[in-house]
Every structure is written in structure tokens, then in C-alpha cells.
Amino acid sequence: MSNQDNSLSRFRTVVAAALIELDSRREEINDLNVFPVADGDTGDNMVRTLQSVVAELDLLITKQGDGSLDSVGRAEIVDAVTNAALLGGRGNSGVILSQLIHGAAEVMIDDDKPVDALMLAQAMNRASEQARRSVTEPREGTILTVMDDMAKRLLSIVDEGTPALPDDVDETTQNAALATSLEAAVSEGDASVRRGPELLPELNEFGVTADAGGYGLVVIFAGIVAALKGGIAPEVHRHTAPREKPRAASHASSTFQYCVNFAVVGEGLDREAFIPELEQLGDSLMVVGSRTGSVLRVHVHSNDRAAVEALFDGKGEIRDIEVADMFAQIDARTRRLRDARSLVLAVVAGESMKTLFELDTSVVVLDGGASLNPSTEEILDAIHAAPVEELVILTGSANVTPAADKAAELSGRVVEVVETASVQEGLAVLHHHYTASSAAENAVSLRGALAAVTGAGVAPAEKDDPQGRYVTGDAVGFVGGELVSWGKADAALNGVLAALPAEAEIVTLIEGSGSPFGDTLKGTVESRFPEVEHLRADHPGWWLLLTVE
């Protein structure tokens, strides 16, 4: 930035433009994320890092006013922005991005000259060094290589005789000079990203054409160029992940389930002191620190979160702890890349029922809690988290329908709401959903199938019957929502079976962990109906759920 208009707002504008460009390709970057683990969150992590920086700049502007970087104090700005990036950094790429910001900021504080091609080259080179030091096992073909290649291109521009900018350079001239240099770096970075599969075999293993972090870095700088030119970002090749289930990864973290991220705030924190013990607890380790030693950002893949955190007991305050289940993230990425036009969003209660529904790969699941009563906002969030634009919601209960209808209306997506009187009825008709069909077509199919399904169940009575038929704890049986039997568990079950449609051909049993029926349950039902499927999952308040078709 020039001395004439070297304002915080101008600095923020450039960072915000980078964030906007990055966010526009966030999902594309997520889908490319296969190294070191195919957990599909690189775009999210890099966006969050830049969001933290923008938020910190907003605080500085509120506190200091829109002064020049020098009048506010470059050291204060550098420390504030670096700490914000460290605290906001998540995942490998987010933490490496924080080091890019750290390295660039250190060059700014060391040199009060206007930012030009030489300073950009120095900043990128410093950032590359910082980033490589932060990674215990750096690999080529990743964001680290892209950063190196972009730094070399900037240095070559300087070597080719690009003149330094004078101290009194005006904003327009400076912006044009920086845009020209960075546009060349973006072009080199774009080419470096496309060379990635030659250097990193894991990319070929999954059939992707770019490292997610390296691609995200180039997109960030394309956004910066757009801000400097006051126009459209330079062209960056798009990379689409194959819409098929990838092979199981044989590379890093295949044995570690959790991605552990947190910050440590204290004094005199030395990153090197913690690395040996952390290496014993996991892999994909990154420990990076601020210039002043007041903040560390820790990222590690491990199976023992508690042991990782314990290493920092008494060393400072642990903040922003996040633990992600990478096995679940890998599964979610696989689902996202499935070739599907529409999916089912099933509302269920409890983890075991969620697991049962997720056996069908066309289903995404919302746990509606023990009362099966999710809010409109929760349903809306689940709709937006789904990897397709068309959904059919199976409500699991008539009580969920109003909130589901409202969420569908607000979603901006094509969403059909199919009311099911019970969770088990939704499970029974899942095979009537076809991923290649539209949500509207699937809604017709599912409603038609539901017409031939009857739900039933046996549960412990929650209170005494006013008519004296049963007391709290007795078994009560329901068919189609109507009370049909009560008393001992076996009697209630027999009453339910007797009330089921005589023409029923298929009976599905979903037995909970607290069931009193023992090993004879399936045999009892098979004595009355030709085909019986016996599943196990818990549903709050019920011993046994049934459907008949």
C-alpha cells in the first residue's frame, strides 16, 4: 500500500475480495480434498481463516479509525492479523494459510516501503518458509509447492528488471503494478496446481486433478487481483472431483479417526517443545506460532484427543477446541459426490436409528432429538447441508410436518415434504426412492408406497390408563396409531399381530435394546406372516416398531 492511501479499509477490501472469490469455489475445493485425508473440508477451513482476518480488521477499524497502516502501527496490525489467522485456522490448509498471512505480515513490519513486486516476492518466500517449517512431513504437489512456484515467479519478475515503486506512488499506479505482478503469479500457480498429480500420487488415486489447498491458494490471489484491478478475477482453471465413490485411501491418517484443532494462548510458547510428544500421538501434525510467542495453533490427526490436550496443561489457555470425525467426513464427501439428482432427508430420533437409515446411500439424516421435534431452522440447516438441489423430506411424525413445510418454503431449493406417521413407515418405503428422479417424481412414488404400509409398535406405558386397562410400565400395543392391546409384553405383541392386515406379505421388525421379547420374537412373527425382516435400533419410548406391507 502507498503512503498516500495506505489505509486499513483498503487493506480490508483486498482481503475481503480474496474471501469472496474463495467462498465462491468453496464446495469445489471441498470436493477436491483428498490429501492427506479425503474429509472434504479444505474449502471450509480456508474460508474460516480469512473470515477471522476480516473480522479482526473490522475490529481494528472500529478501534483505530480508518488510519494509515503506519499511523495505526504496523506492528500492532501484524500481530492482530497474524493472531486472528492462527486462531481462525482449521485443518492443514487453514493453518498453512495462516502461515502465509504470518510470513507476509512479517515482511510488512520489517519494511515501511510501499508494497511492490519485490516485497510481494519476499512475503511469499517468507510465507513458504514458514509454512514448510510448520509441517512435519511436507509433500510436493500440495499447497506448499504452489506457494513456492508463485514465489519464484514473483522473484523472476523482479530479476527481469521490474522497478521498485517510489515512496510517493499513487494508489492507481501501485494497484496496477501489483495486479500485473500478481496476475503472473496466479498464472504460474494455476499451472503448478495442474502439475500436482505428477508429484502427489494420492491425487491420481482418487481421480482428482488438483490439490485442494493449492487450488484454494490460487483462487485467493485471483480475488486479490480482482480487487486491485477493480474488475473480474483472472481466469483460474476449474477442477471437478469425479462423481463416483473413490477407492479407500492408503495414505496418511488411515488409522486415525479424529482431526483435533485448537489454539493455546499464553506467553513464551515454543512450538518445537511440543512436537516430539505430539508425533507419538498421531500424524498430519502442524504446530505454528505467532511472532510474539503468545499463540500456538495445533492441528493433529489422532485417536486420543484427551492426551493431545493434556500436553498443554499449565502452558496456557486452550481455546476453540474442535474435533472432527474424519471417518464421517470421508463418508459425507463420498455421498456428496454420488451421481444423484435427489435424495431423501429423513427425520429420526437417536444415533442407532440414524445409522439404520444411512445404510441406504440415497438418504441424509436429521436427528430430531428424543421428542422428534426439530425446529424449522434445524431442518433448514439440514436441507442446505445436503449435497443436492432436490430433496424429499420424510417427516417421521405428523408433528414435524409444519416445520418441514416452512423450511422447504424458505430453502430456495426444490423440496417435497412427505408426511409419515412414524419413523418406521419412512424406512419401509425408502426403496421406492430413485436418485435419478426428481423430488416431485419421488414424492409421488413414496406417497403411493406409503398407502400400502401400516405402522405398528409395542411400548411401555408412560402413565396409568384413566380407564383402568393398564398401569405405568405395562406393555401397550398400537396399529396405525390406535391402541389395540395392553398388559404383559407377549400379550400386547400378540394383540398387535392379530390386528395387522391379514393380507400383509412383508413384516419388518425394529427391536430396541430394552426389548423384553427375547430370542423368540422373530419366530413368533414368522408363524403368522410369510416374510419377516428383523432389525435392531432404538427409538425413544418404544420397545418394538413394526411395519407391514
Pinpoint the alpha helices (H) of 162-321.
171-199, 201-206, 212-229, 275-279, 305-310
DSSP assignments along 114-144, one per residue: PP-HHHHHHHHHHHHHHHHHHBSS--TTSHH
Three cell numbers at 42? 479444505
The series of mean pLDDT values per 10 residues for the chain, 549 residues long, is 56 90 90 80 89 89 67 72 80 80 67 76 81 81 93 89 82 89 95 94 84 95 93 85 45 69 89 89 83 84 91 91 82 67 93 85 88 92 88 95 94 95 93 90 95 94 94 95 95 94 87 90 88 90 93
* Cβ 300 vs Cβ 283: under 8 Å: yes
Residue 107 dihedral angles phi and psi, to the nearest 5°: -65, -40
Task: Check: pTM over 0.75? Answer yes or no.
Answer: no
- 535 phi and psi, to 5 degrees? -115, 165
Give residue 341's pLDDT.
86
CB 444 within 8 A of CB 437: no
Distance, C-alpha 307 to centroid of its chain? 25
Give the pLDDT of residue 313. Answer: 92
Q: Which of 183, 220, 196, 181 is nearest to 85 (CA)?
A: 220
What is the DSSP annotation of 463-486? S--TTSS--TTSEEEEETTEEEEE
Cβ atoms < 10 Å from Cβ of 188: 19
Q: In this predicted model, what pLDDT tens digit does every residue of 252-285 receive, in sequence order?
A: 445 788 889 888 999 989 888 898 999 899 888 8
pLDDT of 246: 38
Per-residue confidence (pLDDT) for residue 406, from 0 to 100 = 95
> Which CA distances in Å does 160 have to 115, 117, 118, 163?
18, 11, 11, 9
pLDDT at 548: 92
Q: How many CA atoms lie within 13 A of 246 on its CB side?
A: 28
**In whole angstroms, what is the distance from residue 99 CA to residue 31 CA?**
23
pLDDT of residue 1: 41
- H/E element, 365: strand 363-367
Phi, psi of 64, rounded to the nearest 5 degrees: -105, -15
Q: Exposed e or buried b for every residue in 457-487, given b needs 16+ CB within 10 A?
A: bbbbbeeeeeeeebeeebbbbbbeeeebbbe
> Which helix (H) or strand (E) segment is 146 a member of?
helix 143-159
Domains of the chain: 8-229 (1.25.40.340), 258-324 (3.30.70), 338-450 (3.40.50.510), 454-548 (3.30.1180.10)
Q: What is the pLDDT of residues 28-38, one digit of tens each?
A: 898 888 888 77
